[in-house]
Amino acid sequence: MHERERAAYRAFNAACERDDPQVIETALREWLVLAPQHEFAEREFAAAHAMKNFGSVMTKFKSEHPNAKEVLLRVCELRLAQAREQAGVVLGEERARLIPEGFSEQEIRGSALSKRATGRVRTLETIQRRIANEPLESTWKLFAPQLLQS
């Protein structure tokens, strides 16, 4: 019985990832029959039923802001341009400071200040790539707070 319950629970989780309310409801009903914690399962069913009827928060957000992904991507592009400009300024300042002391270009690029500035550029390039290639549901929560804070 325990293995059947786990299989039903896994089927329910898989159904939830497909975003098909009827598949979710069917999988949940199968799980409810086997679940020992009936009250917990009922709460899960109520949540799935509410999601089916009212939509998720992200679904509502996407319907109210259909261009949210493009806006987030544009903000990221602007932050990336700022970071690249700042990295250039930092590299120039490091050159001015370290060349007279006999440091090589490689050593200058390896300085803590230069590495920090180029690290910020690499981070924003990764964020930009993820926003462009991944669904808004996964990127909004991760990157919007970081990109939209002033």
In the predicted structure, residue 38 carries a pLDDT above the cut 70: no
Exposure string (b/e) for 66-94, b if CB count within 10 Å is 16 or more?
A: eebbeebbebbeebbeebbeebeebbeeb
| Phi/psi at 82 (5° precision) | -60, -45
Q: Assign 36 a pLDDT band (cuts: 50, 70, 90).
A: low
pLDDT in tens, 110-143: 999 999 999 999 999 999 999 999 888 888 888 9
The larger pLDDT score, comparing residue 31 to residue 120, is at 120
Question: What residue ranges do the domains of the chain occupy?
Answer: 2-55, 61-148
The larger pLDDT score, comparing residue 122 to residue 28, is at 122
Output the pLDDT for position 4: 75
Mean pLDDT value across the chain: 84
